[in-house]
Structure 1
């Protein structure tokens, strides 16, 4: 009898915390889930935009021409590891960095919103239920005295083959987390295109 009552108690009474909000799955159970993408490595040297550019600096005072980025996206048996190594940036500075759904172009906004494993039905996404480091790929970092940095993140999910990320965008600030500000990280200061695969 005691066991049956315990099972009937609300989660809040047992744990002291309310249940996590419901998030619709990225793929409905009845849909065919697309295959995930293979591993990839992208290396770029940032420069001012020109047609065909794959590594663009939008603010040379923050991301100088000649700065470099190496992005690795590795599929594992449990999900995906993402790592970025950067050199030649402004020393001792905080940056935000995320994977975005669009490719880099002359307009920094062309890279679109952040890639999300569970897509926020509202845009722009500033709700921390969706705009958070567990549902997006956040690679924030602070450069050392030489202007170098490395950031890594591991996720227990793979990128969707039907809508993968196409860019690494560097931002002027670390990423905000408060409701209404979640996911924002200041101006887009550079962009590295992730090729289609």
Structure 2
């Protein structure tokens, strides 16, 4: 993670590599930031709604790698979380806001209103348990990528699985593949 970023600040990098003959290219998006509470009705890119679970100043890094064939890997690293707590983490459709509901619902590869389709095969789930120092990490790989403009944030929920109160949100400029 990038040292020296002030509270609520975000650093982003997009890296690309690929064939010189114009073939399909791999690309990586990496974004990191520090959580801060919403202020004055606005939210930083990394916003905490529950400072007991996601303290102000705690850090997050999200990395998305899209292979030339469209397969996508999303990796999460956090520090400063509540030690021993298990978080549910999912990619959501909209950017973060001062209101926890602003990020919308989970991004789904096959959009559905059927609760059975809210699962780790159809969504990006990055659940983790913070270690004794408050650090955690998770990754998810899928043979599919995000539709352009339809995946915009990562929500940390207060419990693992498909439900839970939104404890924090991090806006991520995910790369779309279609």
TM > 0.5 between the two?
yes
> Which among 136, 139, 154 is matched to residue 168 of structure 1?
154
Please state which structure has a larger fraction of its residues in strand.
Answer: 2
TM normalised by structure 2 equals: 0.78
Q: Which runs of 4+ in 1 moved over 6 A?
A: none
TM normalised by structure 1 equals: 0.71
Gaps of 5+ in 2: 1-25
Q: What residue number does 2:76 align with?
A: 84
Does 2:94 correspond to 1:108?
Answer: no
Larger Rg: 1
Gaps of 5+ in 1: 1-36, 176-182
CA apart distance, 1:113: 0.3
> Which among 54, 61, 67 is matched to residue 63 of structure 1?
54
> Which among 120, 129, 133 is matched to residue 120 of structure 2?
133
Aligned length: 147
Instruction: Deviation per CA, 1:106-139: give whole Å up to 9, x if none.
Output: 000000000000000x2xx5x22x1010000000
CA apart distance, 1:196: 6.6
In the alignment, the residues of structure 2 paired with residue 142 and residue 106 of structure 1 have an alpha-carbon distance, to the nearest angstrom, of: 25
CA apart distance, 1:38: 5.0
Does 2:177 correspond to 1:188?
Answer: no
Q: Secondary structure at the match of 1:39?
A: strand
> Which among 123, 129, 132 is matched to residue 142 of structure 1?
129
Instruction: Deviation per CA, 1:127-181: give whole Å up to 9, x if none.
Output: 22x10100000000001000001100100001111x4311100000011xxxxxx
In the alignment, the residues of structure 2 paired with residue 141 and residue 196 of structure 1 have an alpha-carbon distance, to the nearest angstrom, of: 21
RMSD (Å), alpha carbons? 1.6
Instruction: Deviation per CA, 1:54-110: give whole Å up to 9, x if none.
Output: 000000011001110000011014400000000000001100000000110000000
CA contact (8 A) 2:92 2:105 kept: yes
